[in-house]
Every structure is written in structure tokens, then in C-alpha cells.
Amino acid sequence: MKIVVACKWAPNPQDAEVRPDGTVDWSRSKSAVSEHDPVAFEVARRLADATGGEVVALSVGPAASDTPLARKAMLSRGADRLVLVADDALAGLGSTAVAAVLSAAVRAVGDVDVVLTGPESVDNGDRQVPMTLAGHLGWPGLGAVGDVQAADGGLVVERATDRGVQVLDVTGPAVLAVAADAVVPRVPGMKDILGAAKKPTDVLALAGLDVPAPVAAAEVVGTARPAPSARGRHVITTADPAAAAAELVDALRAAGAL
């Protein structure tokens, strides 16, 4: 079974600065393997080990996303090899365009049985790329996936719903976005990190990929900081819980909130 893990080398917004004009300064935010991508790698590795398969890490991003550190980080979490598309034309692309490049890269890898992803990227958090990738590939896309097992000619996939758990039979290739809590990912040890340096990386030229062209364009026409809270901030610090509760109830009654 050939398993692709689509992953992202991305900065964490918690370390970013938002300028007064609402633009984001990422210079103090170091990139890393996106927060929940290790969960997808772990699910992929277990599935590959159970089926004698291969795990191919796939990442697309600007030229700066291809560094020795990034390669090692992506290859130390259970992948057998890495495929990169690193081109400045990919900087700041929206989800549909990123998914289009990923779909072309998945086709270039060839004979892929399943693409696994995290639930979202840490920097954008749109949760949309996996499902649009499924659309580009014409494959089913499923989110909130908690478990994937190989079965005769396909996969048995468990996913969380509002009501509980749904078990699905998937035949043919699919895109599966794992839930953040699907499994506990391994923490790469020294052996994994040293081993990563020996694993192969293929860099695909963007120009050589057959990327579906976008029809509509989205242009940023305004940025802002979130509006400051206009709430009253009446904070009760009374140590006695009963007195604090009584004060709060009085305040809420006076405000007509009860």
C-alpha cells in the first residue's frame, strides 16, 4: 500500500505579531512540522507496517520551506521518503491553489492508495485543503478520522460524528484528514533523526507538474486587528465563593441577563 502524508512546514501564530494595520509579522515565529501532522504520520506508519506498505511524506511550500532541518523533521516521524515542491510561487496561496498543487504532486508520485493529512495547518487553520484535495483528485474525502485499517481491497475507516462514531468501507483511493486525537504520535528519537538524514528526498519542479488552473482569484483588500473587547470587565476577586457568587448573581440580575 502506498500512503502519502501531506504535511506542512509552517509557523505557529502564537509566536507571530499582528501589526497595528492587521498584517502579520511572522519573523519571530519559527517554522516546524505543523502541529497535528505527526498524528497523520503515526497513523500512516501503523497502516504501512500492517500492510507492508510505504509512507511518502509530501510537502509543498515556498522555496524557504526546503531546508535540511525541515527535511529531517518530516522524515523522522515514520516516512520512508520525502517528496517536496518548493517554489516561491507557492507562498501565500489559498487552499484551493495549494490543494491543486498537492493533487498534481500526488499524481506525480503515482499509484497512491491513500492520502493522510492532519486536521488543519497550524498557521492557517482553514481545515479545507484535505477536502479540496479530494475534490481535485476526484476521490472521497473524509475528516475527523480516528482509525484506519486495511481490509480486502480497501480500507475500513472510523470517524467521529456529532452523534458518535461511524465506520466506513472505502474502496479505491481516498483522502483522510485525521482527528488531532486519533493516536498519540511517536516523539522522534536520536535514531529516527539520524535515520532521517539517510532517507531519500525528491524535489519536484512546479513547472513540471500538471496543476489545475484556478478560475476565480481572491485578493486581500483589507486587514485589521480583532476589535478590542467592548465588554465591561467587572471582575470580582472576593475570596469567599458564596459571596462572589451572590455578587455575580446580583450583577447579572441588574443587567437583565438572568
Partner 1 sequence: MNESTQDVLVLVDGDAAVAGPVAVARAAAAPGAAVVAVVAGARAVADAVAASGVDRVLWLGEPGDGVPVEALAGAVAEVVAGAAPRLVVATTRDGGRALAGAVAARCGAPVLTGATDVSATADAVEVRRDVHGGIAVRTERVTGGPAVVTVAPGGVAAPAAPVAVEEVAAPGPAAAVRVREERASGRASVDLGGARVVVGIGRGLKAREDLALVERLAAALGAEVACSRPLAEGHDWLTKDRYIGISGQHVAPDLYVAAGISGQVQHMVGVAGAKVVVAINSDADAPVFAQCDHGVVGDLYTVLPALAAALEA
The footprint of partner 1 on residues 179-218 (CB under 8 A) is 179-181, 212-218
Q: State the helix-helix crossing angle for 95-109 and 129-137, rounded to 10 degrees.
A: 50
Q: Tell me how far apart the alpha carbons of residues 197 and 16 are, in angstroms, rounded to a whole number.
A: 30
Instruction: Work out whether 133 is an interface residue with partner 1 (CB under 8 A).
Output: yes
Q: Is the dihedral of CA 190, 184, 52, 121 positive or negative?
A: negative
Q: Please, what is the minimum distance in Å from the beta carbon of residue 201 to partner 1?
A: 28
Interface residue with partner 1, options 92, 125, 189, 208 (CB under 8 A): 125
Closest CA relative to residue 130, chosen from 154, 146, 151, 106:
106
Q: Please, what is the minimum distance in Å from the beta carbon of residue 118 to partner 1?
A: 12
Q: Of residues 136-165, which lie at the interface with partner 1 (CB under 8 A)? A: 136, 138-144, 156, 159-165
Nearer to partner 1, 190 or 215 (CB): 215
Closest CA relative to residue 102, chosen from 81, 84, 88, 119:
84
Q: Please, what is the minimum distance in Å from the beta carbon of residue 66 to partner 1?
A: 23
Q: Is the dihedral of CA 201, 206, 209, 213 positive or negative?
A: positive
Q: Please, what is the minimum distance in Å from the beta carbon of residue 232 to partner 1?
A: 5
Contact by Cβ (8 Å): 27, 60: no
Q: Please, what is the minimum distance in Å from the beta carbon of residue 219 to partner 1?
A: 5
Binding mask 50-89 for partner 1 (x = CB under 8 A): ----------------------------------------
